[in-house]
Amino acid sequence: MSVNLQVNVIGQLMLFKNSTFKDAYVFLDELIQNAQRANAKNVYVRFEAENNLMKIENDGDTLKDPQVLFRVAESGWEDKVMKSENPFGMGFFSILTVSDYIEVYSGSQKVIFDVNHVIETKDTSIQVEESETAYEGFKLVLHNIDYERFSPWQMRERLKRLGQFVHELDIHVDGEKQEKKELTKTDGSIYATSIEDDDIKGWIALQEYGFFGSLKVFYKGREVTKLDGFPYLTGDLHISDKTLTLRQPDRRDIIEDEKYDKFKEIVHTYASIIAEEAILKKDHKNLQTFKDAISYYADKEQLRQKMEFVVYESKDSRNYLKKITQTLKKTKGQESTTLQECELFLRKEEEALLPMESEEDVSTFSLSIEEKSPKARGVVEHASRSSSSHEEGYTERPKIPEDRLDEREAFKLIDNQAPTFWMNFEQIVEYEKEFLIADHYSLRLIIAENPYEEKILGTFEDMSVLHISTLKETITLEGELKKVSLTDPDKRAIQLLDMVSRMFGFKENVFRVGELTVFKSVSLDVLGQRFESEEAGIVAVFNKKENKVFVDYEVFQSQGLVMSDELTVQDFQFLLKYLPILLQQMRMIPDFSNIVSKAIGKSFSGDFHLLALNTLAEASLPNVKTSC
């Protein structure tokens, strides 16, 4: 008995025999898929390298008509299989890439397929013999295997993976059954999730590195391709025909159609969920490690609705931040320190103050920042023990176990709340001035503990959540001077002030003396708030309206000033003590520098204080009339 090849199949034979597939071991996938279609429960593979043989058999349905093996468009299996799996009839022909002499055993039939003979003679008849014993299932014996080109180890690895993921049957390699793997079981990554949709099963995980990703797609248990467009993502995704359209004949490429777009959307949604959960858990160490991956997939709009932030609002919590700032100043220029690392040192110092009478004392301890101010330790550098020692020095950095962190009440940001300011942890030192303003006025403050909180907080301006850099304090001082009855010390002071005025080129005394009251007005523009208070202890203040420097007469009473035609020691002591303050206010007079330059006959932009001291050293007291 014989079967005849279709005429056009000879051309296909030559094509397959001389083809180089992207994947040299794809024939194993195709043979396992054929076994699936035959309803097999087991596939047995044996390598006989010494004879250049390979045997593959399964316990599936018996092949009734050998002719279908040689029809490219048919598979020989049930109609329901033909319809549901879109068979393309390439499974048998794929083995032509590894063998040119094939024996087929199925039922009572034996088929011998000599590829070289068919191609050379153009003889389209294939010999079919009756086997002495019936074979239940389907068996292939592949001859002339080039084991130098086709590595037995790589073929075993391929079959091992197929055995893991093809759950409809078991694969046995050289007598060893390959273990199954649960399709939705992750690889143990920190940020991973299982996927079990109608048409997708598997898992995905975020990677620390790998911008191009390593997300694999499997069809019928065999790897199809790696999925592009998902950086920092790894995993295994198992699909069906309903999920994606694969390009024939070898189904190694995905056709980018509507199904492909939907598939990518589903995968991206799962990746966003992983990133979201990672941020909400606030595992700061791993957040830093996976920052690129999490930033890529995090959905800001979703996080706006779900994130909670720790608010430093009470006096205790703000004092706590002050101590954190001290720690950061000490570690400035060193490797980055985290908020949790600083917290650990502060907590250790607090606990060191406790009496260690019993474990109960420690467990009931409540941190009281207001009463104690522990010294922050920061980063500790340990030198080597001796110059001859092989033991190198090392850096001791604080590490924070999760169970040692303070638990603080968190809340979600809502509309129409009181203005809240935020900054990231590394900006505590940079914006210390603004932080002190917030502390002084008891403003609400959030410290972004990781880059993701920072990004989300930056989107809340519409809800009165502003970066602390916008918190500016505008301070205005205004003076009120009342006339008083002048004593001799007051009159002497006026003479000295007149001398100072003329030293700097003014034609009249730019100072006025009296009972000085100073009011401070503070405006926080971003809040639209204004605070006013009376400031005590101010000696002098420039009055812009009168273009004069107002000086408080009380500062003269204890200086020992007396009327004299010459400069006295007390005069010099008074001038040396108050000249810096007076000069500071004088410099607010319009065109001050030009007036000084004109007086000394040259342009001057140096130290005005030093200029005054040099002038005083040569000065003599002018004969001036005392006046208020």
Q: Residue 6: give its domain's CATH number.
A: 3.30.565.10
One domain for residues 56 and 128 = yes
The CA-based dihedral angle spanning residues 583, 588, 591, 592, taken in that order and rounded to the nearest 10 degrees:
0
DSSP summary character for residue 518? E
Tokens of 95: 């083995």
- Say yes or no to pLDDT of 274 above 60: yes
Separation between Cα atoms, residue 260 and residue 254, nearest integer Å = 8
Tokens of 84: 């549901």
| Domain presence at residue 362 | no
One domain for residues 197 and 158 = no
**Predicted pLDDT at 517:** 87
Asked if residue 605 lies in contact with residue 593, where contact means CB atoms within 8 angstroms, the answer is yes
One domain for residues 218 and 276 = yes
Q: Is residue 535 very low, low, confident or very high in pLDDT (cuts 50, 70, 90)?
A: confident
Tokens of 34: 């054929």
Domain carrying residue 409: 309-354+368-385+392-470
Enclosing H/E stretch for 114: strand 101-114
- Say yes or no to pLDDT of 500 above 70: yes
One domain for residues 501 and 528 = yes
Tokens of 514: 């009296």
One domain for residues 209 and 230 = yes
| Domain presence at residue 624 | no
Q: For 114-132, what is each residue's pLDDT tens digit?
A: 888 888 888 878 888 888 8
Classified as helix, coil or strand, 305 is helix
More confident of the two residues 327 and 406:
327
Separation between Cα atoms, residue 235 and residue 314, nearest integer Å = 46
Axis-axis angle for helices 315-330, 432-440 (nearest 10): 160
CA atoms within 13 A on the CB side of 147: 13
Looking at residues 462-487, what average pLDDT do you find? Answer: 83
Strands 192-196 and 200-206: antiparallel
Q: For 389-422, what is each residue's pLDDT tens digit?
A: 445 565 554 443 344 333 344 555 555 566 788 8
Please state whether the peptide bond connecting residue 398 to the residue before it is cis, i.e. omega within 30 degrees of 0: no
As a whole-number percent, the residues of the chain with pLDDT over 70 amount to: 72
Whole-prediction pTM: 0.57
Work out the mean pLDDT of the chain and round it to a whole number.
77
**Predicted pLDDT at 81:** 41
**Predicted pLDDT at 322:** 66
Q: Is residue 273 very low, low, confident or very high in pLDDT (cuts 50, 70, 90)?
A: very high
Axis-axis angle for helices 592-600, 608-618 (nearest 10): 40
Looking at residues 314-319, what average pLDDT do you find? Answer: 66
Residues 6+ apart with CB under 8 A from 158: 25, 28, 29
| Domain presence at residue 296 | no
Q: Is residue 105 very low, low, confident or very high in pLDDT (cuts 50, 70, 90)?
A: very high
One domain for residues 525 and 551 = yes
| Domain presence at residue 427 | yes
Asked if residue 412 lies in contact with residue 456, where contact means CB atoms within 8 angstroms, the answer is no
Q: Which of 470, 502, 533 is the last residue of a domain?
A: 470
Asked if residue 194 lies in contact with residue 203, where contact means CB atoms within 8 angstroms, the answer is yes
One domain for residues 80 and 202 = no
| Domain presence at residue 627 | no
Separation between Cα atoms, residue 357 and residue 349, nearest integer Å = 17
- Say yes or no to pLDDT of 212 above 60: yes
Q: For 51-70, what is each residue's pLDDT tens digit?
A: 999 999 999 999 888 877 77
**Predicted pLDDT at 623:** 42
| Domain presence at residue 157 | yes
Asked if residue 43 lies in contact with residue 57, where contact means CB atoms within 8 angstroms, the answer is yes
As a whole-number percent, the residues of the chain with pLDDT over 90 amount to: 21
Q: Can you tell me which residue has the tokens 């055993």?
A: 105
Q: Is 132 left (phi over 0), alpha (psi -120 to 50) or beta?
A: alpha
Separation between Cα atoms, residue 506 and residue 592, nearest integer Å = 9
- Say yes or no to pLDDT of 73 above 70: no
One domain for residues 323 and 377 = yes
One domain for residues 128 and 254 = no
One domain for residues 458 and 317 = yes
Task: Give the other-Cβ count within 10 Å of 5's Cβ.
Answer: 20
Residues comprising the chain, all counted: 628
Separation between Cα atoms, residue 234 and residue 215, nearest integer Å = 4
Q: Could you tell me which of 71, 195, 198 has the C-alpha nearest to residue 124?
A: 71
| Domain presence at residue 600 | yes
Q: Could you tell me which of 486, 491, 484 has the C-alpha nearest to residue 563?
A: 491
Separation between Cα atoms, residue 464 and residue 448, nearest integer Å = 16
Q: Can you tell me which residue has the tokens 């405006």?
A: 523
Q: Which of 146, 177, 208 is the last residue of a domain?
A: 177
- Say yes or no to pLDDT of 579 above 90: no
Biggest alpha carbon distance in the chain? Answer: 144
Strands 176-177 and 170-173: antiparallel
Task: Label residues 164-190 b or e (16+ Cβ within 10 Å = b).
Answer: bbbeebbbbbeeeebeeeebeebeebe
Q: Is 528 left (phi over 0), alpha (psi -120 to 50) or beta?
A: left
Asked if residue 193 lies in contact with residue 273, where contact means CB atoms within 8 angstroms, the answer is yes
One domain for residues 274 and 322 = no
Say how many domains are in the chain.
4
Q: Which of 108, 142, 177 is the last residue of a domain?
A: 177
One domain for residues 333 and 466 = yes
| Domain presence at residue 487 | yes
Tokens of 277: 């959960």
Separation between Cα atoms, residue 342 and residue 325, nearest integer Å = 9
Q: Can you tell me which residue has the tokens 């949709």?
A: 197
Asked if residue 540 lies in contact with residue 493, where contact means CB atoms within 8 angstroms, the answer is no
Which range is most confident: 121-135, 155-169, 329-343? 155-169
**Predicted pLDDT at 368:** 30
